Chain A
Amino acid sequence: MAISGRFVLLVLLGLVPVLLLPGWGSFFAVAAVLAAVAGADLALAGSPGLLQVVRGGPVNVALNAPVHAALTIHNNGRRRVRGSFRDAWQPSAGAADPIQPVDVPAGESRRAAVVLRPFRRGDIKSPHVTFRSFGPMGLAARQRTVTSAGSIRVLPPFNSRRHLPSKLQKLRELDGKAAVQIRGAGTEFDSLRDYVRGDDVRSIDWRATARRSAVVVRTWRPERDRRVLMVLDTSRTAAARIDDETRLDSGLEAALLLGVLAERGGDRVDFLAFDRRARARAGTAGKGNLLGRLVQAMAPLEPELIEMDWAAVPAQVRAVTAHRSLVVLLTSLDGGAPEEGLIPAAAQLAVQHVVVVAAVRDPQLGAMLSERSDAAGVFRAAAAERALLQRAAVSAELRRFGVEVVDAEPHQLPPGLADMYIRLKAAGRL
């Protein structure tokens, strides 16, 4: 039950009879009349419990993009329902107008839509819809909450998309589409063509030249149909916030850029989010485009407050691909003991695969490093220095095992990882 502002106004007007006929008798009489009027209005209100909600509208939405969450309200009762409803979207859905008027005649349906502008990645939910049905006088309302679960998946923003054209350009230069094809742009034999001045003499195919009168060179192209497996660490270290986004989000951005780039490069892409168990899997094998599947898999990921099970990672990688692959570990280089977890796992993987460890470096550490004005600043600089030295030591240890390391600040990580991929591809190491 609920009352309206109109009823409060009516109660205020009740002051007039109470003052004209002072006395407790009139006081209670007016109160009783008001209560009776409200009760009558309540009795004449349509039953909100007989309303039925069917949800529709889009299933996916980009972060910070507006979306209309539609719902159809069907009135199964015998009386018209007039009043308001509230679609209970969680606060991060950013509902602009969660409370709206509703007017559904008996036996009919009405459509309504709530405009959402979600500001957090993941699945946003609305567990129920609450109806408030006012009587004909609009004084008192019956209120009932109808369970009707709604859910919209908010996809990761893919801000690193802006790096994609330049990286694709680089990839195309490697690929046969560029004008000049020289040795070093790949290891896979592509075709034979006439020698032009400037070509690397090492790429002259003497056998073909002998058959013809002109000098013939071989052209090369980068390997295709290689495998790229990205393993995203969703353990407790992913919860660390660096520069307004968590490590997890930075890792997602980097994985999206690399995934799209590698797919254009003709490689098979697989994505695995893992801490102690697989949180998400996506890959080229499947329906639809890769980007769509990647963002679908990434959307509900959250950092878990548990330790990464590095010992299980090689087995997970083996389960995804049995062939030599580029394995990208999106994790952190500090926090905990990488010597016990990350380094052995990466070393083990490096035996069969090409392993790249991509980690976010905190730019705040650099800022702390330059604080040298007083004793407190010097101690801060010393602490930052220690953290950076530890990272450097871990990076060096990883490189000793033949693991490539991309250690970059949050916004530099996706292009840095893409560059590493292009470099490895160009060098024919995939």
Chain B
Amino acid sequence: MTGSVSEADVARDAGPRQAAGPSFRSRLRRHRGLVAFGALVAVGLGLVIWGQLAPKGDVVPLSVSNAGPDGARAVAQILGNHGVQVHDVRNYDAAMAALDASSSPTLLIYDRKGALDGQRLRGLADSSARVVVVSPRLETLRALDGGIRQAGVVPEGTPALDPGCSLPDARAAGQVSGGSGFVYDGGTTCFRPSGSAAGVLAAGADGRLVVLGSTAVLGNERLDELGNAALGLRLLGASPDLVWYLPSLEDMDLTGSPRTLDELAPDWVRFVGPWLVVVALAAIAWRGRRHGPLVFEPLPVVVKAVETAEGRARLYHDNRAMDQARDNLRAGTLSRLAAALRLGPGATAEAIVDAAARQLGTAASTVSDLVNDHPRSEARLVAWVRELHTLEKEVKRR
């Protein structure tokens, strides 16, 4: 007896130990797909997070270090290969320094946000031998005062524009891309859309100011199309130094901006709010502090007694238990009739009906038919109950 028990124990002990290795491996094999999928999801998630968190390359449009479609790295590299020193500057001071350092520099300004004010623009223009302004805004043009005005956009569906002017750079380049550019009026205009006096390229009277209305000409994406590259290189490569200036928000002159409400308000206003917060905190502490711990109120259990009857009524109603309701009401009526007729608790239904009929002076069958009726619809049930009630009242009245 003891021997068999111990053997069983040994077997039970050994079982899990032997099964541990294979069971783990088999479990791994069974859920191979799931594990692989989980690993894939984890790797994908890691890549996405890394991609989001990794520092981005230069994404500024027309930046010389931006290799994206809207960057201008290609044209800058080509210019560099041909001996043009490209100075990539991002603020006004650096631009002025670069302009001053070179003898007859060409300046490219692409001021998307209108960060430069008129004074600075004039200063830049005075320091440079030639200014190429890309897609300038109204204020920029007015400040440069080259007699060139904005004149709308290149119409939709104009993929290429012919030079159509006497400017050598334009004639050498031939056709250029036209899509989504601006056109300018005044001075010598080239690359005019059909039926327009304004062109994508406009040069001032002295040739020092050139306005280019299209970033596509210089952008990486379309540099190899049509004569874009030729136009860009000829415009920018005329002198050994090119200052490539993309003004940013830090060049914005803020001194002239209107004073804020904060600056207009007197000094002490700043401290009213914080101090009122202190007052509020004190008031909260004053009113919120309870005068001692809460005390318990032992509440006795109270149940509405009629709940059971009401619950049963709802059950009857939900199940449309008309037979049950009819039986109850009939029994109640009979017991009350028996009491009214003084028949005692042992009286049968027939005896009660007979006595009631005698009391009312009607045929027993009339009363019997009423009492033993089986209403089949709710409307009939309600009517029947009323008739029963009337019967009761009549019997009690006599």
With A22-B270, A379-B313, A383-B313: A303-B301 Cβ-Cβ less than 8 Å: yes
With A15-B272, A18-B275, A365-B306: A382-B329 Cβ-Cβ less than 8 Å: yes
Q: How far is the CA of A387 from the CA of B292 in the complex (A)?
A: 50
Cβ of A60 within 8 Å of any chain B Cβ, yes or no, is no
Cβ of A153 within 8 Å of any chain B Cβ, yes or no, is no
Q: Which of B267, B309, B379 contacts A22 (CB 8 A)?
A: B267
With A88-B295, A145-B293, A372-B386: A388-B332 Cβ-Cβ less than 8 Å: yes
Closest to B321 in A: A379
Which residues of B sit under 8 angstroms from A143, Cβ to Cβ?
Answer: 289, 291-292
Question: What's the least CB distance linking A117 to chain B, in Å?
Answer: 15
With A27-B274, A375-B381, A389-B328: A239-B301 Cβ-Cβ less than 8 Å: yes
Looking at B43-51, B74-82, B114-122, B278-286, the stretch in contact with chain A turns out to be B278-286
Which residues of A sit under 8 angstroms from B28, Cβ to Cβ?
Answer: none
Chain B binding surface SS class: helix
Question: What's the least CB distance linking B282 to chain A, in Å?
Answer: 5
Q: How far is the CA of A85 from the CA of B305 in the complex (A)?
A: 43
Q: How far is the CA of A428 from the CA of B298 in the complex (A)?
A: 45
A362 touches B297 (CB 8 A): no
Q: How far is the CA of A145 from the CA of B89 in the complex (A)?
A: 74
- Interface 0/1 of B361-398, CB less than 8 Å to A: 00000000000000000110110011001000000000
Looking at A122-130, A190-198, A207-215, the stretch in contact with chain B turns out to be A122-130
B303 touches A392 (CB 8 A): no
Most chain A Cβ neighbours within 10 Å, of B272, B305, B328, B378: B305
Closest to B319 in A: A379
Chain B contact residue count (CB 8 A cutoff): 55
Question: What's the least CB distance linking A389 to chain B, in Å?
Answer: 6
B317 touches A19 (CB 8 A): no
Q: How far is the CA of A362 from the CA of B309 in the complex (A)?
A: 10
Most chain B Cβ neighbours within 10 Å, of A19, A84, A127, A368: A19
B305 touches A364 (CB 8 A): yes
B316 touches A27 (CB 8 A): no
Cβ of B345 within 8 Å of any chain A Cβ, yes or no, is yes
Q: How far is the CA of A5 from the CA of B287 in the complex (A)?
A: 8
A14 touches B295 (CB 8 A): no
Which residues of A sit under 8 angstroms from B291, Cβ to Cβ?
Answer: 2, 84, 86, 99, 130, 132, 143
Question: What's the least CB distance linking B177 to chain A, in Å?
Answer: 60
Cβ of A352 within 8 Å of any chain B Cβ, yes or no, is no
Q: How far is the CA of A396 from the CA of B345 in the complex (A)?
A: 8
Cβ of B42 within 8 Å of any chain A Cβ, yes or no, is no
Question: What's the least CB distance linking B281 to chain A, in Å?
Answer: 9
With A3-B282, A372-B385: A88-B309 Cβ-Cβ less than 8 Å: no
Which residues of B sit under 8 angstroms from A22, Cβ to Cβ?
Answer: 266-268, 270-271
Cβ of A89 within 8 Å of any chain B Cβ, yes or no, is yes
With A385-B331, A389-B335, A396-B345: A11-B325 Cβ-Cβ less than 8 Å: no
**A385-415, CB < 8 A from B:** 385-389, 392, 396
Q: How far is the CA of A145 from the CA of B328 in the complex (A)?
A: 62
A89 touches B332 (CB 8 A): no
B331 touches A389 (CB 8 A): yes
Q: How far is the CA of A11 from the CA of B274 in the complex (A)?
A: 12
Cβ of B296 within 8 Å of any chain A Cβ, yes or no, is yes
B305 touches A247 (CB 8 A): yes
Q: How far is the CA of A126 from the CA of B297 in the complex (A)?
A: 10
With A27-B271, A379-B316: A241-B293 Cβ-Cβ less than 8 Å: no
Most chain A Cβ neighbours within 10 Å, of B270, B279, B291: B291
Cβ of B304 within 8 Å of any chain A Cβ, yes or no, is yes
Cβ of B302 within 8 Å of any chain A Cβ, yes or no, is yes
Q: How far is the CA of A240 from the CA of B303 in the complex (A)?
A: 5
Q: Which of B267, B321, B328 contacts A385 (CB 8 A)?
A: B328
A88 touches B293 (CB 8 A): yes
Which residues of A sit under 8 angstroms from B379, Cβ to Cβ?
Answer: 375
Q: How far is the CA of A425 from the CA of B159 in the complex (A)?
A: 122
Q: How far is the CA of A384 from the CA of B314 in the complex (A)?
A: 12
A130 touches B305 (CB 8 A): no
Cβ of B310 within 8 Å of any chain A Cβ, yes or no, is yes
Which residues of B sit under 8 angstroms from A396, Cβ to Cβ?
Answer: 345
- Interface 0/1 of A250-294, CB less than 8 Å to B: 000000000000000000000000000000000000000000000
B302 touches A362 (CB 8 A): no
Q: How far is the CA of A380 from the CA of B311 in the complex (A)?
A: 9
Cβ of B312 within 8 Å of any chain A Cβ, yes or no, is yes
Question: What's the least CB distance linking B225 to chain A, in Å?
Answer: 63
Cβ of B324 within 8 Å of any chain A Cβ, yes or no, is yes
Question: What's the least CB distance linking A17 to chain B, in Å?
Answer: 10
Q: How far is the CA of A239 from the CA of B303 in the complex (A)?
A: 6
Closest to B291 in A: A86
Q: How far is the CA of A128 from the CA of B30 in the complex (A)?
A: 66
Q: Which of A89, A127, A302, A368 contacts B313 (CB 8 A)?
A: A368
A386 touches B301 (CB 8 A): no
- Interface 0/1 of A7-28, CB less than 8 Å to B: 1100110110011101100010
B305 touches A240 (CB 8 A): yes
With A88-B295, A380-B310: A3-B304 Cβ-Cβ less than 8 Å: no
Cβ of A91 within 8 Å of any chain B Cβ, yes or no, is yes
Cβ of A246 within 8 Å of any chain B Cβ, yes or no, is yes
Known: A4-B286, A11-B278, A19-B268. 11 other contacts (CB 8 A): A2-B291, A3-B289, A8-B283, A31-B278, A86-B291, A128-B292, A303-B300, A382-B313, A383-B310, A385-B331, A385-B332
**19 A-B residue pairings within 8 Å (CB atoms):** A2-B291, A3-B286, A4-B286, A8-B279, A8-B282, A19-B271, A22-B270, A86-B292, A90-B295, A90-B298, A120-B300, A127-B295, A129-B292, A240-B303, A241-B305, A246-B300, A334-B308, A384-B313, A392-B335
Q: Which residues of B contact A (CB under 8 A)?
A: 266-268, 270-272, 274-276, 278-279, 282-283, 285-286, 289, 291-293, 295-298, 300-306, 308-310, 312-314, 316-317, 321, 324-326, 328-329, 331-332, 335, 345, 378-379, 381-382, 385-386, 389
Q: Which residues of A contact B (CB under 8 A)?
A: 1-5, 7-8, 11-12, 14-15, 18-20, 22-23, 27, 31, 84, 86, 88-92, 99, 120, 122, 125-130, 132, 143, 145, 236, 239-242, 246-247, 302-303, 305, 334-335, 362, 364-365, 368-369, 372-389, 392, 396
